[in-house]
């Protein structure tokens, strides 16, 4: 049975969704969540609203991969027309399902046969001094003048890592507690969990240790308000790319502003996950003949934030990002293959959306879900659909519902299990996603949707026993509409 039907069936919707036509008034009374059929960007719903306190949620989403914004017009009014709720039929595509199943089986077999990345003995005497290169600014990657040389001294050596500090750093002595905490946390927590649940990093310089560079120059990479505390560059793993474009070293960059504690631990887990993703996607041949490519930005960041969560290191690196997304969910695209190219690198709202989506997927698809995404040569939506066995459109609709209903007494068929989005989280007081109000008695709303984003409306105050809602957008918006009937006296 299609996974979409299984999900909605748990709420008693299976019978209504199988109807080829329209729901009647009696059906509406027992239904809670309905995927509405949209044709060429248009749909019309006529609801039974005999009570003054009848109310509904509408989730308006754009599935377009274009950044947008996509304009959506919603009109509501009293009507004498009969109840009319066109239900979207589940997509049945046996060829697609067979292709996804076959790719999933090939990947599973490849993971079992790949084995461990070649391990090298740790050097007894790492170089005491090294010169690293770092990009200055966010563009012009191919210009050698865009890179700065950073002389650095070795400050600490652990079992599986080594730490260098920029020679020009004036607070090198004060950094020692941070360095000691980083080495202990990496050796005893970050690396063991990563190997159990995520994957491995290629030891490109074959020195037996992962390198960390503490530098004050990270601020030059990011001119925005969201300070950069750590980063990983895939080019550093490329042995055939000359300096300054590559350091020929498996490494991460860390800010000298970091201090011991959970926030440092979160940054370590986050950045090391980026290193794992690049190594597994690019250096493993899981699908022969498939291009080896790094994971797309949205899943890359979502998985890196999920790694922080797996360690339970706290919300210092996530709470404000989740809050930014919830404050204006319609502004932040979920699917962004390249944050740099889209001009949204370091955007808190985009990162909040990516984390919540990956967190929801992990809740639904189990502990092995991150590993299935990471140990793959696929990327983006294609990788996600093979890992879950479901179409992105179905996943997106269910996730949007889970975000809206989190923390309410309305049951979601696939809830967020580890988060309450209407509860304090870290330093933020979350109030769920922003919901706009729509009077059913003659109101209208103009919604601007980014591609792969959603807006939430609460329709209420009917002016008659039946209410008509018409929704229109350009076909390229790929509009998706979900209706939720709210029982009496059960508001968030």
Read off the pLDDT of residues 32-55 as tens digits, 9 standing for 90 and up.
789 999 999 999 999 999 999 999
76 pLDDT band, cuts 50/70/90, is very high
- 444 bridge partner residues: 75
CB 340 within 8 A of CB 138: yes
pLDDT average, residue stretch 64-69: 91
Q: How far apart are CA 130 and CA 291, in angstroms?
A: 33
* pLDDT score, position 16: 35
Residue listed under structure tokens 């994971």:
295
pLDDT at residue 139, as a whole number: 64
* 192-200: average pLDDT: 95
Question: Does the structure show a pLDDT above 90 at 8?
Answer: no
Name the band, by pLDDT with cuts 50, 70 and 90, for residue 207.
very high
Q: Cβ contacts of residue 153 below 8 Å, gap of 6+?
A: 128, 129, 164, 165, 167, 172
* Percentage with pLDDT > 90 across the chain: 78
Mean pLDDT of 189-215: 96
Q: How far is CA 250 from the centre of its chain?
A: 25
Q: Reply yes or no on whether the pLDDT at 14 is more than 50.
A: no
Residue 227, pLDDT score: 78
Is the per-residue pLDDT at 20 higher than 70?
Answer: no
The pLDDT value recorded for residue 400 is 97
Tell me the mean pLDDT in the region 253-275: 97
The band of 121, judged by pLDDT with boundaries at 50, 70 and 90, is confident
**Nearest alpha-carbon partner for 372 in 275, 5, 382:** 382
pLDDT > 70? residue 453: yes
Distances (CA, A) of 404 to 131, 285, 334, 482: 50, 40, 16, 11
Cα(73)–Cα(327) distance, rounded to whole angstroms?
Answer: 21
What is the per-residue pLDDT for 225?
A: 55
8-state DSSP, 189:
I
Q: Per-residue pLDDT for 30 more than 50?
A: no
Location of structure tokens 């003054």: 52
Token pair, residue 67, equals 């950044």
For the chain, the first-to-last Cα distance in angstroms comes to 33
What average pLDDT does this structure show over 192-207?
A: 95
Instruction: Report the number of secondary-structure helices (H) and strands (E) in the chain.
Output: 14, 17
pLDDT of 89 strictly over 90: no
| CATH number given to 3-92+430-486 | 2.60.120
The predicted structure's pLDDT at residue 226: 67
Q: Can you tell me the mean pLDDT for 187-210?
A: 96
In this predicted structure, the answer to whether residue 231 has a pLDDT above a threshold of 90 is yes
The band of 375, judged by pLDDT with boundaries at 50, 70 and 90, is: very high
Mean pLDDT for 239-254 is 96
**pTM for the full model?**
0.91
Average pLDDT over residues 330-346: 88
* pLDDT greater than 50 at residue 5: no
User: What's the confidence (pLDDT) of residue 123?
Assistant: 84
Per residue in 330-360, is it b (16+ CB within 10 Å) or e — as a string? bbbbbbbbebeeeebbbbbbbbbbbbbbbbb
- Provide the residue count of the chain: 492
pLDDT of residue 369 exceeding 50, the answer is: yes
Instruction: Give the residue extent of every domain in the chain.
Output: 3-92+430-486, 118-283
Q: Structure tokens of 55?
A: 């109310």
The rounded distance, in Å, linking the Cα atoms of 455 and 149 is 46
Specify the residue for token string 């509501």.
76
Q: Which of 18-22, 307-311, 320-324, 413-417 is predicted with the least confidence, judged by mean pLDDT?
A: 18-22
What is the pLDDT averaged over residues 454-474? 97
Query: Which of 486-491's residues contact partners 24+ apart within 8 Å by CB, and which partners?
Result: 486/55, 486/56, 486/57, 486/410, 486/458, 487/32, 487/410, 488/51, 488/53, 489/53, 490/408, 490/409, 490/410, 491/55, 491/408
Max Cα-Cα span within the chain: 84
């Amino acid at each position: 049975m299609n996974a979409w039907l299984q999900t909605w069936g748990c709420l008693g919707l299976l019978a209504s969704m199988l109807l080829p036509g329209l729901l009647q008034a009696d059906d509406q009374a027992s239904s809670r969540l309905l995927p509405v059929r949209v044709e060429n960007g248009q749909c019309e719903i006529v609801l039974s609203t005999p009570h003054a306190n009848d109310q509904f949620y509408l989730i308006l989403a754009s599935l377009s991969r274009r950044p947008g914004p996509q304009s959506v017009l919603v009109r509501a009014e009293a009507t004498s027309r009969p109840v009319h709720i066109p239900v979207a039929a589940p997509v049945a595509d046996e060829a697609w399902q067979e292709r996804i199943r076959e790719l999933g089986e090939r990947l599973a077999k490849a993971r079992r046969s790949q084995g461990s990345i070649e391990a090298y003995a740790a050097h007894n005497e790492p170089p005491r001094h090294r010169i690293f290169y770092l990009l200055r600014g966010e563009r012009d990657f191919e210009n050698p003048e865009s890179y700065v040389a950073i002389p650095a001294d070795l400050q600490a050596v652990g079992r599986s890592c080594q730490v260098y500090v920029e020679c020009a750093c004036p607070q090198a002595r004060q950094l020692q507690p941070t360095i000691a905490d980083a080495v202990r946390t990496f050796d005893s927590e970050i690396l063991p969990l990563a190997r159990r649940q995520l994957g491995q990093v290629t030891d490109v310089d074959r020195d037996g240790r992962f390198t960390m560079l503490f530098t004050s120059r990270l601020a030059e990479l990011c001119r925005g308000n969201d300070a950069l505390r750590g980063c990983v560059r895939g080019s550093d793993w490329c042995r055939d790319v000359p300096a300054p474009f590559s350091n020929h070293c498996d490494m991460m960059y860390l800010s000298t502003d970091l201090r011991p504690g959970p926030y440092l631990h979160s940054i370590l887990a986050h950045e090391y996950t980026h290193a794992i993703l690049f190594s597994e996607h690019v250096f493993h041949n899981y699908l022969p003949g498939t291009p080896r490519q790094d994971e797309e930005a949205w899943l890359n960041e979502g998985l890196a934030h999920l790694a922080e969560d797996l360690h339970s290191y706290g919300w210092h690196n996530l709470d404000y990002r989740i809050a930014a997304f919830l404050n204006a969910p319609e502004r932040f695209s979920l699917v962004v293959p390249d944050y740099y190219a889209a001009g949204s690198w370091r955007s808190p709202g985009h990162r909040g959306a990516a984390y919540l989506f990956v967190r929801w997927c992990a809740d639904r698809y189990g502990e092995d879900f991150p590993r299935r995404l990471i140990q793959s040569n696929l990327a983006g939506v294609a990788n996600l659909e093979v890992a879950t066995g479901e179409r992105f459109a179905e996943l997106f609709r269910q996730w949007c519902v889970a975000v809206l209903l989190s923390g309410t007494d309305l049951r979601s068929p696939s809830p967020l299990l580890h988060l309450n989005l209407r509860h304090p989280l870290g330093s933020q007081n979350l109030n769920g996603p922003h919901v706009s109000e729509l009077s059913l008695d003659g109101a209208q709303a103009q919604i601007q949707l980014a591609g792969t984003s959603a807006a939430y409306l609460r329709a209420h105050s009917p002016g008659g026993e039946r209410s008509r809602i018409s929704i229109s957008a350009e076909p390229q918006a790929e509009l998706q509409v979900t209706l939720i009937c709210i029982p009496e006296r059960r508001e968030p």
